[in-house]
Structure formats: structure tokens, C-alpha cells
Structure 1
Amino acid sequence: MRSTVRRVSTRRSGARRHPGHGRRWAAALGVGALVVAGGGVLAGPAQALATASVPVDFPTHCIPPAIAGIPPIDGTTKAEITVDNAAPRVGDTVTVTYTVTEAAASNPVDLALPADIMTPTGKVTVGGAQSASVTVAGPKKNDPVPGKGVFPSFSMTGTFTVTAPGQITLSPGDYNIHTSYIMELDTPCTVTDPPAPVSETIIATDEGGQVNERAIRLGAASGPAGEAVTVTGSKFTPGAAVTLAGRAGDRQSADTATVTADGSGGFNGRLTVTDPATTGIVAYEGGSWDPAKGAGPQAYTVTGGGGGNPDGSQELKASVRAGTLSMVQDGDTVEMSAVDFGRGGASRGSLRTVTVEDYRGGPAGWSLTGKVTDFQGPGGAAIGASALGWTPACTTKAGSPSTCQAGSAGPVGSAGATLASAPDGTVTGGEFTVDARLALTVPAYTAPGAYSGVLTLTLT
């Protein structure tokens, strides 16, 4: 995680603007796959509070492949979430199955699709005592689909580790239908108004032991054999050597890579997956896979193959390289308006515009936060950090896959606040312009002179 520091100053007399120079900082990818959001043990037996899985339906926005020549589809998805353990203990691994009984999209082309060429991937939204987005993937298995016919029902599975006691809810999220026949095509479908309704609720109890909080996140849930997938980890031992490896069922594949955890226990590496039988990816410390010193498996499916190419054809391959998450600001100094001694009031100014560029091309969103120091003045006088408030604004560049969301208006303070963010999704990225109106509340009879504080922005 990298930060940018901006000095904000205010004077009791005339204001003067200092020109700044644009600067760029690369930012690390998002945090681990599972984050504790709070919650406690609910009263009564866990088994009595857990609810049975229920089918749900939700509005969905699907984008057919460009070759189909048809506009996006706004329809309804019918789905259900089930688990292998509805009353786990903290530290247990829960297997989640996301079944789409009726997809919002159908075969986008007139060409009939043969059996076993469809590979689904998606996300399950975890809420309640924990907050996470669980990657799920399904096998390349389907009944034949007629031209422009309805996609058959399909199931995807994944896992997550329980890290907090209490009620945990599971809702279906975005999904993607990949077909491998003559050419590789994707039909991504996103939840129109997330989160979708809760389909499954489980109750976790506290075992009182040490919880393995190591977590990994994949840049993609599927890809052709020979392609590298980005693996981001958190909560590993700082400075430890971490092995990234493919899993084919209960065995480890020959696909491995090694990274080193940074001072906070995080890492960002790439693993080239060549084994078509791979069903998941893990990361672990030590010489061999050990769930107590590792994270995963996160579901991963190898796509490609299928019916093969017709006679006389040539297969053409191209690639798009993933970039970075970064930000550029148009200056590093903000001069705010003066206020009068004895009267006090609001010293106002505008944040120097920040441009966020997300060129990673994966499913991860981003968050831009800020925190400020106390404003120091003459002779030891100071104005507290809590006196600075902002009203954020965020604009998304046309054509960006993600949509920027401005943070809430209110105090910034030393604890910090969110300036802007973009959510996780099946495909994310784009360019975003972030601004904010600033107001420093200056008490009456504050000692005359210049006051300055440092506003630190952090992009993750």
C-alpha cells in the first residue's frame, strides 16, 4: 500500500496559492479474501438459528460477446446457495455451492453449442458476522445448447474460512459464462442492485482457539492453460517465503511459484497454470501444503479446448496485459480561505483533483481514503484534526467497467474517512476523477497566524 501526502494550510490573513506538480504512486491490490466485520455469538443453539437454503431471484445485467452483435440483456437470474456445514465453528472451512437454475442470458449466437464446452465462474457475497466475496467456479460440463437457446442450469463451488462467530449470510453475486467452441467467448452477468437477496444463513460458534487468518484472492477465476493468474495474499507471516500452487482435487499440480510476504504479511504474485485438471489455487508457508499455515483453495478453472477448430482454419491468439492501480494528483498544496480573529468560522478550500487509474483488469475494486493531522499554528497553537470536514465527489470516465462512488460528507479526522471507492465485480477497471470541498472549522479567538496540517491519501 502506498500513500500520497498533501499539505493543507490556512491563514488568518490573506491567502496565496502555490502551484503543485503532478505525482504518481502505484498502489497495491486489494486485501485478502475474508475480512472480519464484527458480530458476536447469538443467543440459543446455533442449529436452531440457522435457516434452510431458499431459492432467490434478482435483476441481472448481462453483456453478450461483441461477435453476437446484440445489446446488453437486462433480465432475471434464479439461483440458490447451499453449504456443506450450516453450523460451523470459528476456524472451519465451509464449502459453498452457487447454483444458477435460470440464467438471465442465453446462447448469444445462432450456432448450436455441443456438450461440455461451458465453464461458469462467479462470486458469493458473505455478510453478517463476516464480510467477503468468495470466488466460485464450476466444471466444464453442460448439455448441448441450441442456437440462441437457453443456457442450462449450472453449479459453482468455492470455500471460505470462518473467522468470526455469529450469523453469516450468503447471497449470489456476479457470474460469468465462458464457452469454448471454435472461439473463446464470455458472457459476464452482474447483479443490477447488489447485494442480491440472502439465499443461505449459517451460524458460527466460537471455538476459542487460534484462527488462521491467512487469505488469498485471485485476479481471475478462470483462464486458458499456460496463462498466469494474479494471487494476492494477506495475514501471512511477515518476511516468510510463500508457495503459490495449483490444486487438482486433493493433489498438488506441478504449477508452483514462490513469493515473499512483505512487512505486513501481504504479497502480490503470479502463478502460471498449465494443468487442465486444476480446480483451485492455494498459498502456504513451509515445504508442503498445510491448511494451518496456508490459505485456499480458491476456486480456479482452466478454460479452452472443446470441439476443436474446423478444417482449413487458423487459430489466432492475442493477449491483453494487466496493468496497475495508481493515482495522479494535480498538486500537493491547498491554500484555504482566511477567517477573522474573534469571529472564527469555516476556512474553505478545494482538494487538488486526484485521478485514479485502475488498469488491472481483474475482479477487485478499490478504495481511496484520507486522514489528517492536527493543524499546527504559531507558538504551539493548534486546531484539532476533527475540525476538518469534506464533501467528496467522484466522476467515472465514459466506457469504464466500474462505477466510482463518492464517500460520505463529514469529518476527516486523524482516524480517516473514505473519499471514493469502486466495488468488486466480474470485470473492473477504468479512470475516475475525485474531488472534494474542504472546510476547517476555526474557533473564535484562535491565535492569529498560519496553520497547516497534512492530509494523507491512501489507495488500496
Structure 2
Amino acid sequence: MAALAATAGGTLGAPAAAEGETPPGQVEFPTRCLAPQEAGLPPTDGPPADGPTTARITVDDPAPRVGDTVTVTYQVVRTPARNPVGGAGGGLPDDGGLPADVLTPTGRILLAGAQSGEVTVVGAKRNDPVPAGAPLPAVTMTGTFTVTAPGGITLAPGPYTLHTGHGADLDTTCTAVGGPASDPSAAPVSVRLTATGLPTANLRSVFLAAARGRPGAGVRVTAAGFPPGVAVTVAGRAGAAQTADRVSATADDLGTAVVELPVTDPTTTAVVAYEGAAWSARQGSGPAAYTVVDAAPPASAIQKVSATVEPGALGMTQAGRDITLGTVPYGDGGAAPGRIGTVTVTDARGGPAGWSLTGKATVFAGPGGIRIPGASLSWTPSCVAAPGSRSPCTPGSAGVVGPEGALLASAPDGPLVGGAFTIDATVTLHVPPYTPPGTYTAVLTLTLS
């Protein structure tokens, strides 16, 4: 569980164009700019300003991942719109000139492809003086959007409004014209992004009701974490090879299949579960240790003396429960750092099966229903095996945790594994700029299998 206050962002410049070349993301399209009625130029009294708009869209990340926030910049390099107050009268300045810093631009960028919708962009009130009847100057507007789907996403310039506030509040609205028959107001595509999905962890697992049995005895097996409705194969394994002991079942609505597996092969040392034609690390569970007990009686009066080392369990403990992240200044945004409570994993099963520790985070809920995606939380894991442990400990990759889950640490399969392992991770929440102040809370769940 984590608590924090607001966050960050930045824009990377697009590559510069060589002299004489069109800069990346720059397009030109026919535009109609309607003069504001307050200026004394309603459509019935004065024609709209028609002409080309030269626009450019740039992004700070052309290859984002689902859950990332992308900053977009919409530049109107040239517009047919003109100073709307020239000769207006009606309480407006007599000379019709606009002074500096009275022009505020707003606009929309149109998304299509894997993700559709609009991005609202706003510019600062910043301009040089504009004489009466002169063209309005170039403007720059920025905004952000969150990537919600993987695949190709196109960005095209949408309508833009040039608001002047000198003597009267006037809005000159410009819209593309002459596009395809299906949408005459469509402007050319300016930028194309390719979004990738978040990596997902394999949460499949298998549990045995007993860790040993006589040849031919059945063992109750529970396979969990599979897609609902998928065919699940439960099979015996001798080392890395699969034995003839095998049954199949269909996962229920919770992704669980419960079967009785007769173990007849005396070489069986473990049981696995998987979907598809064969076991794989991506679509199968790690093996659960199983021992076939020799039931043959003594062949002579010689007594057999044996001692049994009882296998233990796989478990974990964690120091502390809550994670308090660092604060982030309002407006600037940024990274809120923290650290999870230290986790200790103990593997006393004495078999060939390794283990994995995964985590996943819910959305961060804040005041007034404001939410920060769980995919904004990332971590950098570390893992140390205690002296004498039979297994090495491998930390998961640094990256996004999110609602889909990520690997925190793992130990591989081997002839005989086990030990004690200390696992830590630094965590960072990337908070968007101008996130409302307050405390944002999510739940981080760790699962050992």
C-alpha cells in the first residue's frame, strides 16, 4: 500500500530538419477561419478567412507503453486568420491594433488507430503586437494524453481557436476544409506512434495434496492461475523429462482445475501443469516435488535401516506493511521514491522446483475521484541468497509493476533446491504534472508460487 502527493513531465524536442526540408510532423491543409460576430463581421456581413494552415505536431515519446503519459505540442506555424478587431468599432480600440500578450490559443489534436479520441491543447498568452487587419502570429499549444491500447496511433491537427482579449473577448475559430468525402474537416496525419503493451507475469501454479505415495497411488492436484475455459494438462516429470503419468481437465471460471493424477512411473520426481501441446515457462507451472515410495518388502532377514528427511514448506514473511512514498511538488510533477518492506522467502521443500515472487499494483485513488494508473508505479528489485542455500536468487527486471503484474524475484528449478532469500526493491511512482494535491493510495500485492 502506498501514499503520496502529486507529479511530473517533460517534452523532448523533435529532430531538426535540414535547410529547405519540411520539419518532421509538419503538414499543410486548407482552412476556414470564422471571424467573431462581436467584431462586427458576422458570416452574412464579411466572408470567412480562407487559406492554408501550416501546422506541426511533435511528441516527447514516439514509442510509449500502455499506461504512459505522452506530452504533445501543436504548433500553428501559419494561419489565414487575421486581427479580428481591425475597424471593428462598437467599443473596440479605434486603431484596431492588438498589443503584445493578449492572444491565447486553444486547440484539439485528433487520435485514431489503436486509440481514438481528442487531446485538448492550450498555449500561453504570448504574442508580439499585431496591426489592424494583419495576419495573427504563429502559436504553440501543449497537452497530454495517456496511452490505453497497444498498436499504431495517428495524431492529426484538429480545430484551433485564437482568443484575443483587448477591449473585448473575441474568438476566431479555424477548421480544416476540403478533406475526404467521408470527413471534409479532416486534416492530414502529422505524427504516428507505436505503443507497446505492458509485460505480464506467469501466475500459473500447481499444488499437491501429498508430496509422496506408493506406485499407482493417485495424488490430488490443484492447478491455478490459468485462463478460464482453457484445457490444462497435469503430468509427472522425471528430472527435465515428462513421464507417461498424465491427465487433462478444463479450467473453471476462476482459472482453476482440480484432478486426480495416478502416479505409476517410479521415476517420477515432480508434477507440472500446463496449457498447450507441451510444458513451457510461459504457459506452465513450476514443478511441485513428488516422491514415489518403494513398497517392496525385504528380500531377506536383513533389516533395512532408513531415516527420512521431512520436506518443509515454501513461505515468506515481510517487514512492515505500508509504503510511504516521497512527496512531489504540484505543477512540476516527478518521481515519488520509496522502498518495499524487506521480504524473506524460505524454501524448505527439498525438491527440484524453484519459485517465483510476483507483484501487481492497483490504481492510485486520490481526492475527488482523481486516479493515477497503477502502471505509473515501477520498481528495481534486488535479491540475496543466505549462505548455504542450494539455489541462487535472481531479481526481476527493473520496470513497470502495474495491474498486470511483474516479477520481483525467482529461483530456478534444479536437482535439489532450497534456502533462505532476502528480497528488496526500490519503487518509484511517476506522477503527471499538475496532478491535484492530496494523498493517492494503491494496493501492492505480492504473490509467492
Coarse TM-score class (shorter-chain normalised):
0.3 to 0.5
Larger Rg, first or second structure (1 or 2):
2
Choose between structure 1 and 2: higher strand proportion. Answer: 1
TM-score between the two structures when normalised by the length of structure 2: 0.40
Q: TM-score, normalised by structure 1?
A: 0.39
